[in-house]
């Protein structure tokens, strides 16, 4: 058996190698990026401080108007929008390389191959008490475009209530109202061009029409969703053709994605850092260099950053005339702040880091969506496992065929991001809540972002995973129902392990440490069970096939038994957020409503970490929206 699996994986790998080599010849990849030693100056150069303080207008390589730390999802938006103005110049410093020509970052179905490899920060959490002390894998893509180049490409924007709550949490601070949905929606529309697909009619009035990011229904659809939607309707979850509008988001829908009509990933590198933008004389992008520190002058003004290619390599300094903008993502942004002396004074003193600004909220309030996958066997013909995670030679041949189809036509299973439908539901109370409560009263705490907002997301995929796709799931035709706690009340921390910028930070999401999160997740497992026992889904599941990896028995177990299984299997939903939240100082805020870091000058944060509370949906779109708005705020200020 295991020889079979190995053969399959070898054949699969060979097919990918052949296929992607051919693909490489068809994609242009040489682009003008800079290496660390071409920008800035070595830190031991004594003159650097005086240069950085001088308000000079030289357009040299050691000082820029804006220095953006990280070249990820949000940063690519800023790089594009800020350099629309020819009177400012911008430097981006990214730890990874360009995603152009990196096949796993372009071909949708093989995105998980980026994980635990060179283009991944490959983080792990600390042992999680709420998860039987397991350490959980936390992939964060280390490449231009950041996680938008390595994520699952599902398009979703949260719900209007999320943004209204963001605005309210600013308690009337300058600019607060601009974050409410009414004002913020224009930024969610600004980035998007929705490309209609002939097979998926849906309303488009509220979708973006002129933005750089193409969205649509161009991912492979195997058809499981055709059974899933009426099954949801049968238990009272309405079918809505577009959950991404001002009207709210309870309902089930086909998954729209960041995949273009040619079957390619739409990352923010692909969409915002086009060759034309990269050719602008006022933009430079350094790849392969890690920012180790933000430097401040005595007036607590950010004057530039230090960066290096490797731990023992030379360190360079580059100055920022106007601002340093931190866009390193929800893990690395707080890490860099702490390394630079901005954070809880007690954390800093533990590592003998001089305090520039005591800011208690840095690295606190870490929120992530906790996920439980349950898997069921489908009747033959419905699953796409053979194309994506083959476990025998026959399946690997199917995969090779799919790769050929992709290379020739840009269609077929290699354009899959697996999930076919998403449903947003309330299970803590209401009609469906009561159906899945197992006789329990409503969950006491309502942590949703507002009346009518969801507490759970349910996704369905004609495929199954073990260990995020890194271990074979050896069942012929599996499907997965993924259930997600959208508004967890367990909040965690990102802290330093040491003062060494090359050490990974300590990530403790404190998963499932509140009664609320567990109650919601148990109910969601019962909901998954109920769905698999409702027609038409019921008939396409093989209820007689028994296998230790399959979950048809789970929903009939006691709450305590389900809890135990959840604690042994729950994993990240890949959405870490809120570690530098936008809020008043007294509420654990790190940035104000214009995204300026409290207590210092010349430093802004623009990425998923500024969310005041985690959105009830997927985080790419909201992050791009934040960056679009930030670009306008910055342009107003200079
Ligand atoms: C596997 C996976 C699946 C996901 N699926 C979806 C999905 O389907 N839909 C969805 O909406 N969202 C999804 N997400 C979440 C979404 O992609 C992220 O929330 C979002 O992209 C975060 O954007 P960001 O700008 O905050 O950070 P990032 O995109 O992570 O950008 C940070 C960048 O900074 C760089 N960097 C970090 N530290 C340094 C340093 N010291 N020096 C220089 N550079 C540095 C990083 O390499 C990276 O490029 C997924 C995420 C993952 C990982
Ligand atoms: C759970 O399922 C999702 C798909 O909905 C997948 O992306 C993820 O990797 C799975 N998680 C694990 C731990 O395998
Ligand atoms: C969830 C929801 O209300 N969706 C709505 C999205 O918008 C269209 C019109 O633009 C409505 O028809 C949907 O009901």
Which of the following is catalytic: 103, 369, 516, 618? Answer: 618
Q: Whose CA is nearest to atom 14 of ligand 3?
A: 240
User: Ligand 2: distance of its center to the CA of 465 in Å?
Assistant: 6
575 is catalytic: yes
Residue of 181, 202, 241 best suited for mutating to test ligand 3, as the one with most atoms within 8 Å of CB: 241
Which residues, 6 or more positions from 281, have their beta carbon under 8 angstroms from its beta carbon?
none
Ligand 1 in contact with 607 (CB < 6 A)?
Answer: yes
What is the reported pLDDT for 11?
Answer: 53
> Ligand 3 within 6 A of 247 CB?
yes
Q: CA neighbours within 13 Å on the CB side: how many for 96?
A: 28
Token code pair at residue 349: 């003193």
30 burial via Cβ count (<10 Å: 0-12, 13-18, 19+) = exposed
- Is there an atom of ligand 3 within 6 Å of 248 CB? yes
Q: Calculate mean pLDDT across residues 263-274.
A: 98
All structural domains of the chain, each given as residue ranges with its CATH number in brackets, are 32-195+266-364+577-638 (3.50.50.60), 220-256+370-487+512-569 (3.30.560.10)
Residue 54 is predicted with a pLDDT of 43
Task: Tell me how far apart the alpha carbons of residues 505 and 495 are, in angstroms, rounded to a whole number.
Answer: 6
Which of 39, 114, 147, 469 to probe ligand 1 with, by most ligand atoms within 8 A of CB?
147
| Six-digit token string for 99 | 């995603």
The structure's pTM equals: 0.94
Which tokens is 355 given? 């305090």
Catalytic residue among 103, 417, 552, 575: 575
Residues forming the annotated binding site?
291
Closest C-alpha residue for ligand 1 atom 47: 142
- The CA distance from 150 to 265, in Å, is 9
Residue 421 Cα to ligand 1 midpoint, Å, equals 23
The answer to whether 281 and 87 have CB atoms below 8 angstroms apart is no
pLDDT band with cut points at 50, 70 and 90 for residue 15: low
Q: Residue 158, by phi and psi: left (phi above 0), alpha (psi -120 to 50) or beta?
A: left
pLDDT, mean of residues 440-458: 95
- For position 205, what pLDDT does the model report? 86
Q: What is the pLDDT of residue 246?
A: 63
Convert the pLDDT of each residue in 65-74 to its tens digit.
999 999 999 9
Q: Judging by beta carbons within 10 Å of its beta carbon (0-12, 13-18, 19+), is residue 558 exposed, middle or buried?
A: exposed
Q: Residue 243 CA: which ligand 3 atom is closest? A: 1
**C-beta of 153 in contact with ligand 1 (< 6 A):** yes
Alpha carbon distance 544, 522 (integer Å): 24
**Location of structure tokens 């050490």:** 503
Q: Is the CB of 463 under 6 A from ligand 1?
A: no
Residue 205 beta carbon below 6 angstroms from any ligand 3 atom: yes
Cα–ligand 1 centroid distance for 546 (angstroms): 38
Can you tell me which residue has the tokens 């890690």? 290
Residue 107 — very low, low, confident or very high, per pLDDT cuts 50/70/90? very high
301-355 pLDDT, tens digit per residue, is: 999 999 999 999 999 999 999 999 999 999 999 999 999 999 999 999 999 999 9
Known binding site for FAD: residues? 291
Contact criterion met (CB below 8 Å) for 76 and 145: yes
Q: Give yes or no for residue 46 having a pLDDT over 70.
A: no
Q: Does ligand 3 lie within 6 Å of residue 239's CB atom? A: no
Closest-lying ligand 1 atom to the alpha carbon of residue 139: 53
Mapping DSSP to helix (H, G, I), strand (E, B) and coil, where does residue 571 land? strand
Give SS3 for 32: coil
């Amino acid at each position: 058996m295991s020889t079979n699996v190995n053969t399959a994986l070898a054949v699969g790998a060979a097919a990918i190698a052949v296929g992607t080599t051919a693909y490489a010849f068809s994609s242009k990849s040489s682009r003008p990026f800079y290496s660390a030693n071409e920008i800035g100056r070595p830190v031991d150069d004594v003159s650097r401080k005086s240069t950085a303080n001088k308000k000079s207008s030289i357009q040299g390589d050691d000082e820029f108007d804006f220095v953006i730390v990280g070249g990820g999802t949000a940063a690519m938006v800023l790089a594009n929008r800020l350099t629309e103005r020819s009177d400012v110049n911008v430097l981006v410093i990214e730890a990874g390389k360009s995603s152009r020509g990196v096949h796993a970052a372009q071909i949708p179905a093989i995105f998980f191959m980026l994980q635990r490899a060179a283009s991944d920060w490959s983080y792990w959490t600390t042992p999680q008490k709420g998860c039987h002390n397991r350490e959980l894998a936390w992939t964060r893509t280390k490449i231009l475009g950041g996680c938008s180049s390595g994520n699952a490409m599902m398009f979703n924007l949260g719900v209007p209530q999320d943004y209204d709550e963001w605005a309210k949490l600013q308690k009337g601070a300058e600019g607060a109202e601009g974050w409410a949905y009414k004002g913020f929606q224009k930024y969610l529309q600004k980035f998007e061009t929705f490309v209609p697909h002939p097979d998926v009619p849906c309303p488009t009035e509220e979708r973006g029409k002129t933005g750089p990011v193409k969205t649509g229904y161009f991912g492979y659809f195997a058809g499981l969703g055709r059974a899933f939607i009426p099954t949801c309707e049968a238990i009272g979850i309405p079918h809505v053709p577009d959950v991404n509008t001002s009207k709210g988001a309870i309902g089930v829908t086909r998954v729209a994605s960041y995949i273009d009509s040619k079957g390619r990933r739409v990352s923010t590198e692909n969409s915002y850092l086009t060759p034309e933008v990269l050719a602008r004389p006022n933009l430079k992008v350094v790849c392969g260099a890690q920012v180790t520190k933000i430097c401040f002058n005595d007036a607590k003004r950010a004057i530039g950053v230090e960066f290096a290619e490797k731990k023992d390599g030379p360190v360079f300094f580059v100055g920022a005339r106007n601002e340093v903008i931190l866009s390193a993502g929800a893990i690395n942004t707080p890490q860099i702040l702490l390394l630079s002396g901005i954070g809880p004074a007690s954390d800093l003193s533990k590592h003998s880091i001089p305090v520039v600004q005591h800011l208690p909220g840095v690295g606190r309030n870490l929120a992530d969506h906790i996920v439980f996958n349950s898997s069921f066997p489908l009747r033959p013909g419905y699953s796409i496992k053979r194309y994506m995670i083959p476990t025998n030679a026959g399946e690997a041949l199917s995969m090779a065929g799919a790769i050929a189809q992709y290379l020739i036509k840009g269609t077929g299973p290699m354009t899959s991001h697996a999930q076919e439908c998403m449903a947003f539901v309330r299970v803590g109370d209401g009609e469906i809540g009561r159906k899945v409560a197992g006789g329990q009263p409503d969950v006491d705490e309502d942590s949703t972002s507002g009346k009518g907002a969801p507490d759970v997301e349910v996704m369905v995929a004609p495929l199954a995973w073990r260990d995020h796709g890194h271990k074979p799931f050896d069942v012929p035709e599996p499907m997965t129902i993924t259930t997600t706690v959208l508004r967890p009340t367990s909040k965690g921390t990102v802290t330093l392990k040491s003062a060494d910028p090359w050490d990974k930070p300590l990530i403790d999401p404190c998963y499932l440490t509140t009664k609320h999160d567990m109650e919601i997740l148990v109910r969601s497992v019962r909901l998954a069970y109920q769905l698999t026992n409702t027609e038409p889904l019921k008939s396409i599941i093989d209820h007689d096939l028994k296998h230790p990896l399959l979950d048809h028995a789970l929903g009939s177990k006691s709450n305590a038994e389900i809890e135990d299984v959840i604690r042994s299997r729950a994993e990240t939903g890949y959405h870490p957020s809120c570690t530098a939240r936008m809020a008043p100082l007294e509420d654990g805020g790190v940035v104000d409503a214009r995204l300026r870091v409290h207590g210092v000058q010349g430093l802004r944060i623009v990425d998923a970490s500024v969310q005041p509370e985690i959105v009830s949906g997927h985080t790419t779109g909201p992050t791009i929206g934040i960056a679009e708005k930030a670009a306008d705020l910055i342009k107003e200020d200079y």
